Amino acid sequence: MICAVLMFSGLLMGTLSSPTVFPTSSSTEKKPCRIYNNGRSADCRGQQLYRVPPRHLPPTLEDIDLSYNEINAVHASDFQHLPRLQTLQLQYNNISHIDNNAFQNNTLLEHLDIFNNSLLEIPTVALEPLFNLKKLFMSNNLYKHATLADSFSKFVKLQILSMGGPLVMGLKKKDFYPLKSIKLHTFAIKCSSNLSYYEPESLKVVQTTIMGFDMAVDQLPSALHNMLHDLANKSFQVIQFRNLFEFTYYLGKDDIFQGLRNVKSQQLIFHRGKFNENLLRMALMNLQVTPIKRLRLQYIDFARSPTFVDSGVGSSITNLALDNLDLWYISNPDILRFDWRFTWFKKIKHLSIQHVYFNSVPCDSWSEMEGLEILDVSNNRLQNDYVFNQRCDYSGTMPNLHTFNMSTNDLTSLKDLSSLTREFSRMQVFDLSNNKLGSTQEREDCIWKQNITHFIAHHNPLGSNAFNCLPTTVHYLDLSYCNLDQLEMTYFRKATNLKHLLLSGNKIKFIPSKWESLSLQFLALDGNSFGLISKESFQHMPQLSELSAGNNPYHCTCELHAFVEDTLSEGKINLTDWPLNYRCYHPEPFLNTFISKYFPGKVACDIRLVITISVVVTAAVIMVLVLICYIFDLPWYTKATYQIIRAKYRAHKEKAVGEMETFTYHAFISYSHSDADWVRDQLLPCLENNRNPYRLCIHERDFMPGKWIIDNIIENIESSRKIIFVLSRHFVNSEWCNYELYFAQQRAMGKTFSDVILVVKEPIDPSSLPSKYCKLKKMLSTKTYLEWPQQPNQQQFFWAQLRSVLGKPTETQDRPHSIRKRNSEGRISVIGPPVEKNMPKEDMPDADSKDLEFDEGNGIELSNLRQIPIMVL
Ligand SMILES: *[C@@H]1O[C@H](CO)[C@@H](O)[C@H](O)[C@H]1NC(C)=O
Ligand SMILES: *[C@@H]1O[C@H](CO)[C@@H](O)[C@H](O)[C@H]1NC(C)=O
Ligand SMILES: *[C@@H]1O[C@H](CO)[C@@H](O)[C@H](O)[C@H]1NC(C)=O
Ligand SMILES: *[C@@H]1O[C@H](CO)[C@@H](O)[C@H](O)[C@H]1NC(C)=O
Ligand SMILES: *[C@@H]1O[C@H](CO)[C@@H](O)[C@H](O)[C@H]1NC(C)=O
Ligand SMILES: *[C@@H]1O[C@H](CO)[C@@H](O)[C@H](O)[C@H]1NC(C)=O
Ligand SMILES: *[C@@H]1O[C@H](CO)[C@@H](O)[C@H](O)[C@H]1NC(C)=O
Ligand SMILES: *[C@@H]1O[C@H](CO)[C@@H](O)[C@H](O)[C@H]1NC(C)=O
């Protein structure tokens, strides 16, 4: 029992867990319809369906396209589950049967197209429920009659109705009665090429704005008369006759277009069919007196009438006052020379001749088109010599021409065209797009006399030379796709009216910074070859408000980023194709990056920030240096060192041999100006007016005049055995004394400081001295100096002390200071009684002088300490 339960549950489990496979037929079968627009639309066009596939159509469908299939019947079940259907397209099938209740459940249907099928009768019963119909296309079926049932009078919303077919042999008076009270927009009727009957007033009841006839009257030309009569005294926008004469040219004599006189239509179109000269003359003769203002002849098969007898001006059309005359796709260009004159163009305002492929324009044609305001001869394969003939006199021709369209031809010479149009004095718009202008090289300048405002020349191989040949009066210039690789700045300076400039799709490699165009408002530069662009590029275009410059190989730099940022934020210039068309091309890591997503570092790009930072840093460094200098008196040292080096260099130059070791003076006396009297009156007499006089050097007397003072100082210090400093409060403040002290210090570094004698004339507070005189301070604080006593009795002792410190006076090289002159080498020569040359270099200082002696090591150490800041610098 338990086992059975277990087995059962096991089976159950197994069944549940085993994968269940359903055959998925739908995946193998090709889906015939594409459902889109959230299940509201279905596209089943051209799927070779032989029946409507209702299974694949969701009930939410609102429009369905089943055209170009092979459906041959519509059944009741096909659309009944699509109650929301509004548009149903079944044209170009082979439908020969529609069930009576096929559209029973499709009352919302507004647009039904069953054009070009095989219906033998109008499906009146099936259509009955469709009282919402607005557009019903049901022509080109195999009906034999075009009679509408009374139920059509219920389609009060109907706007467009097309009906008839190749088997309808004619129209009867009652055929369209049900439409009597319906105001249509468009009505089209097709009948057999072999129209057999037309009962008068058949179409009289039809009220429509646009009327289309597809009825060939080859067999029954008189029917046209009746048709036009039915149209009389009603207002139409367009009346189109298609294939009026399908197989034969009309050779009758009756004026079948007479009825046109009473037809009020804005436009009349003859589409396809055969027209000979006589038939066209009939039509035009009547058009001269109709209210019809626009005539179009397209795809017409035109032939001259051999029977035409030219009876001179009387047989010409001279009063055809049309606003528009369009001659399109006419295989025979003879139509232009209709009746051998161009008089029928005389009062045309807008003449458009396209796809007529005429290959000459006689001189007289230009003078006939005197009323012409717009001449459009685009799409004609015209070449220069077809239109411009040097033997024609163009002066005074085309006096009213405003727009000349020569687009899409084979023109090559801009110069010829300027010669042709030079006399067209009112011409403002010139369209030369899609030609071959520039393919022949021209050097001469072109002359444009008239005021051309719009010059359209896109898609021409013009090249940059063309700027010499463009009118400068333009407001609008289109040179897109013209092979331009650079821009001619002189042209833009001259073209001062230029507001709108299109240069898309050229090869412009750079945007000149001097591009001046004061009126320019719109500029298109997309699809060129430049990589750099900046605010400067457009700075001489003050009016510029719209710019498109996408699809260029941009170099992503700060400059570009700044341009974009500024342009977008200022909002003065609208970048119309931003951002999708702007991508980086360079540098490589950014290839194809959107410029809108390119963010270079703010610091790297902001030049003001960079400048600010560097200025701040520099200022800080300078301030630190200044502070260091201030603390360590560096400038003074620098200056002094510089002076020494300079002086030593000179001394070195001047003294070839090292006779520096012999001293000229016993002592060099350094004193300040205020102590000069004391030195002169006391010191010198006491030391010099002796039996054994000392030779002393003082700057007032012994410095060589004309020689640089620092040189003097150094030279004299060098050639003195001892240096006496006369210290007073003024001493420290004297610049020259400072130098002397410093040089003494320098000299002591090399030798010994025992050569320095300090005479303190007035008491000095050592702490008031600048810190750079540390040695002086030390000497003063350790009392290794001679003090000038104020009491006269002590002064004798002072002199004795001084003399002993100076040593014996005879031991110097005698060089009297009074008589000297320079020799040619600039060295000092000495004349006078020579005393004891070659004295021993080393002198023995007296015991007293020991007080003044420095501990040598200490001195050097101190000097070294002072040197450190110099080395730091
Ligand atoms: C017709 O449309 C209605 C909804 O409008 C729907 O309920 C009905 O089932 C449809 N009839 C048929 C036969 O599908
Ligand atoms: C259209 O259908 C008819 C029968 O209704 C058939 O004879 C004819 O061959 C079909 N035409 C085409 C092009 O399929
Ligand atoms: C439908 O169109 C085809 C191809 O354009 C054409 O051959 C056929 O004659 C047309 N049928 C009718 C009834 O006009
Ligand atoms: C045109 O129809 C008539 C009868 O209405 C007939 O006699 C004639 O042969 C037909 N012509 C052509 C070309 O079908
Ligand atoms: C059209 O109106 C004119 C007068 O305005 C009249 O002479 C002519 O008979 C009318 N034609 C028709 C067909 O009603
Ligand atoms: C000139 O003709 C071409 C082609 O027909 C047309 O695209 C263009 O807009 C015309 N130019 C002017 C200024 O009308
Ligand atoms: C061109 O314009 C100028 C100034 O606007 C005017 O003086 C001149 O007469 C114009 N030329 C022509 C041919 O219209
Ligand atoms: C810029 O131009 C675009 C496209 O022409 C337009 O949609 C947009 O409104 C313009 N923006 C400004 C600020 O003018």
Does this chain's domain 32-208 share its CATH topology with 662-808+847-872? no
- Write the residue with the smallest CA distance to atom 12 of ligand 5: 232
The CATH classification number of 662-808+847-872 equals 3.40.50.10140
φ, ψ of residue 264 in degrees (nearest 5): -105, 105
- Write the residue with the smallest CA distance to atom 10 of ligand 4: 194
Alpha carbon of 451 to ligand 7 centroid (Å)? 6
Alpha carbon of 193 to ligand 4 centroid (Å)? 9
- In ligand 2, the atom with minimum distance to the C-alpha of 94 is 1
- Tell me which fold the domain 484-605 belongs to: 3.80.10
Q: Which helix (H) or strand (E) holds 214?
A: strand 210-214
Q: Is 682 in the pocket of ligand 4 (CB under 6 A)?
A: no
- In ligand 5, the atom with minimum distance to the C-alpha of 232 is 13
Alpha carbon of 262 to ligand 5 centroid (Å)? 7
Alpha carbon of 166 to ligand 3 centroid (Å)? 9
- pLDDT for residue 862: 35
430: which 2 tokens?
Answer: 């010139």
Alpha carbon of 169 to ligand 2 centroid (Å)? 22
Q: Is 229 in the pocket of ligand 5 (CB under 6 A)?
A: yes
Where in 62-141 does DSSP place strands (E)? Answer: 63-65, 73-74, 87-89, 97-98, 111-113, 135-137
Give me the residue spans of the domains in the chain: 32-208, 484-605, 662-808+847-872
Q: Distance (Å, rounded) from C-alpha 463 to C-alpha 508?
A: 10
Q: What is the DSSP letter of 694?
A: P
Q: What is the DSSP letter of 229?
A: H
Q: Determine the Cα angle at 278 with ends 272 and 283, to 5°.
A: 65
Q: What is the DSSP letter of 338?
A: G
- pLDDT for residue 315: 72
Alpha carbon of 818 to ligand 6 centroid (Å)? 110
DSSP secondary structure of 32-61: --EEETTTTEEE-TTS--SS--GGG--TT-
* Ligand at shortest distance from the CA of 472: 7
The torsion of the CA quartet 295, 301, 306, 310, rounded to 10 degrees, works out to: 20
Alpha carbon of 420 to ligand 5 centroid (Å)? 48
- Write the residue with the smallest CA distance to atom 1 of ligand 5: 233
The answer to whether the CB of 465 falls within 8 A of the CB of 439 is: no
Ramachandran category for residue 339: left, alpha or beta (phi over 0 → left; psi -120 to 50 → alpha): left
Q: What is the pTM of this model?
A: 0.69
Largest CA distance in the chain: 169
Q: Distance (Å, rounded) from C-alpha 221 to C-alpha 593?
A: 70
Where in 255-332 does DSSP place strands (E)? Answer: 264-271, 274-276, 294-298, 301-303, 324-328
Q: Distance (Å, rounded) from C-alpha 597 to C-alpha 588?
A: 15
Q: Which of 140, 145, 138, 144 is nearest to 123 (CA)?
A: 138
* Ligand at shortest distance from the CA of 218: 4
Q: Distance (Å, rounded) from C-alpha 505 to C-alpha 541?
A: 21
- In ligand 2, the atom with minimum distance to the C-alpha of 96 is 5
* Ligand at shortest distance from the CA of 79: 1
- pLDDT for residue 571: 86
The answer to whether the CB of 349 falls within 8 A of the CB of 371 is: yes
Q: Distance (Å, rounded) from C-alpha 327 to C-alpha 335?
A: 9
The label of the residue with tokens 């004339």 reads 761
Using most ligand atoms within 8 A of CB, pick from 168, 169, 194, 218 the residue to mutate for ligand 4: 194
- Write the residue with the smallest CA distance to atom 14 of ligand 1: 81
* Ligand at shortest distance from the CA of 216: 4
- pLDDT for residue 324: 97
287: which 2 tokens?
Answer: 């058009």
Alpha carbon of 286 to ligand 5 centroid (Å)? 16
The answer to whether the CB of 541 falls within 8 A of the CB of 533 is: no
- pLDDT for residue 700: 80
- Tell me which fold the domain 32-208 belongs to: 3.80.10
Q: Distance (Å, rounded) from C-alpha 132 to C-alpha 157?
A: 6
Alpha carbon of 238 to ligand 5 centroid (Å)? 20
Tell me the pairing of strands 454-456 and 476-478.
parallel
Q: Is 826 in the pocket of ligand 1 (CB under 6 A)?
A: no
89 forms bridges with which residues in the sheet? 65, 113
User: Three-state DSSP class for 276?
Assistant: strand
- Helix pair 607-632, 856-872: axis angle to 10 deg: 170
Q: Distance (Å, rounded) from C-alpha 594 to C-alpha 596?
A: 5
User: Three-state DSSP class for 443?
Assistant: coil
Q: What is the DSSP letter of 704?
A: P
Alpha carbon of 116 to ligand 3 centroid (Å)? 6
Q: Distance (Å, rounded) from C-alpha 373 to C-alpha 371?
A: 6
Tell me the pairing of strands 97-98 and 73-74.
parallel
Whole-angstrom CA distances from 47 to 33, 67, 113 are 8, 9, 18
The answer to whether the CB of 249 falls within 8 A of the CB of 218 is: no
Q: Which of 122, 119, 124, 134 is nearest to 103 (CA)?
A: 124
Burial zone of 72 (CB within 10 Å; 0-12 exposed, 13-18 middle, 19+ buried): middle
Counting as low any pLDDT under 70, the low residues of the chain are 1-30, 310-314, 441-444, 635-637, 640, 643-644, 646-648, 650-662, 735-737, 739, 744-754, 771-775, 782-784, 810-873
Q: Which residues have C-beta within 8 Å of that of residue 559, sequence separation ≥ 6?
A: 532, 534
Q: Is 574 in the pocket of ligand 7 (CB under 6 A)?
A: no
